[in-house]
Amino acid sequence: MKLENKKILVTGGAGFIGSNLVEFLLARRGIKVVVYDNLSLGKKEFIAPFLKNSNFRFIKGDLLDKKKLGKEIRGIDIVFHLAANSDIRYGMKHPEVELKNGTIATANLLEVMRENNVREIVFTSTSAVYGDKPKVIPTPEDYGPLFPISFYGANKLASEALISAYCHNFGFRAWIFRFANIVGKNATHGVVFDFIRKLKDNPKELVILGNGKQAKPYLHVKECIEGMIYGVEKANDQLNYFNLACKGATAVNKIAQIVIQEMGLEDVKLRYTGGERGWPGDVPQVRLDPRKMKRLGWEARLSSDQAIRLGVKELLNQL
């Protein structure tokens, strides 16, 4: 599906990945972008550079408000659904937030789309749907059964199931992307963000959750956006689903080392909370198989370690 000259709704467009997506879309020819965000996690300053662009419109709204959403979705060609509670640790303590901002919000969006004859949706999912210690490493898209261990992963998987049902019953077409960990400009959470904040507060000591051996693939946000757009424009099945990741993974201890180096610090004491997980619901070892996207014609250029280093540099310029 070509995106040129389309009117695109981006839910969660004032957030980390959403704001980077909006910047990318507005650089394309003829695309009009409407951001729908309640600013619970998104930030108005992330979309401030676009407010004077005639092809951009911002709506402060909640996906739980179906009446408002129904009014604003009229005339939209395709929806990029990024809105979610991205603070996974908060969601573990407040599962009702994940339910409302995940599954129910997605159900509302899909039904409003159906009522207004909007049939194209791009959904940002997560590697967390694969659960803990899958038997196939690196894990491909057709792995199963899927039993997430976090409420975030559970609600992403529930949203995937709803999207699949709408494709089958109402003629929707969907693209689902199961992300690796994403790093880069406008990040508001995650290990890189946390380490920088902690070291700014106390440059002599860094508290690391777990044992520091947790390792996951990290994809830079610009490559994340490029891969997602490539998949939308090249994959034409009714229900398209892909891992979006790079090869390899980066351990938390390595991330700490990179952050310390980029901040120019020395003699930083590392203190560990212990255990293989950073928090309940954390999947300590993640390896994603990116070959399905490669067969389509796209692969990440940066390694996981390179993405981390670039993401650290960008955040240090912002924080």
Q: Rounded CA gap, 73 and 58, in Å?
A: 13
pLDDT in tens, 179-236: 999 999 999 999 999 999 999 999 999 999 999 999 999 999 999 999 999 999 999 9
Domain residue spans of the chain: 7-182+217-244, 185-216+248-318
What pLDDT does 97 receive?
87
The reported pLDDT for the residue numbered 86 is 74
Tens digit of pLDDT for each residue in 87-130?
777 767 788 988 999 999 999 999 999 999 999 999 999 999 99
Instruction: Give the CATH H-level superfamily of domain 185-216+248-318.
Output: UDP-galactose 4-epimerase, domain 1 (3.90.25.10)
Tell me if residue 275 falls in helix, strand or coil: coil
Q: How much is the average pLDDT of 260-278? A: 97
Q: Give yes or no for residue 304 having a pLDDT over 90.
A: yes
Mean pLDDT computed over 258-282: 96
List 152, 166, 218, 241, catalytic entry? 152
**For the chain, give me the number of helices (H) and strands (E)?**
12, 13
The answer on pLDDT for 254 being more than 70 is: yes
> Is 152 an annotated catalytic residue?
yes
| d(C-alpha 160, C-alpha 212), whole Å | 31
Higher-pLDDT residue of 89 and 267 is 267
Instruction: Please determine, for residue 81, whether its predicted confidence score (pLDDT) is greater than 80.
Output: yes
| Secondary structure of 6-38 in HEC code, one letter for each residue | CEEEEECCCCHHHHHHHHHHHCCCCCEEEEEEC
Q: Does the reported pTM lie above 0.95?
A: yes
Mean pLDDT computed over every residue of the chain: 96
Architecture, CATH, for domain 7-182+217-244? 3-Layer(aba) Sandwich (3.40)
Distance CA 269, CA 252 (A): 15
pLDDT score at 91: 64
For 293-303, write each residue's pLDDT tens digit: 999 999 999 99
pLDDT of residue 87: 72
DSSP string, 61-109: --TT-HHHHHHHTTT-SEEEE--S---HHHHHH-HHHHIIIIIIHHHHH
% residues pLDDT > 70 (the chain): 99
pLDDT beyond 70 at 47: yes
User: Could you check whether the bond before residue 290 is cis, i.e. omega within 30 degrees of 0?
Assistant: no
pLDDT of residue 248: 87
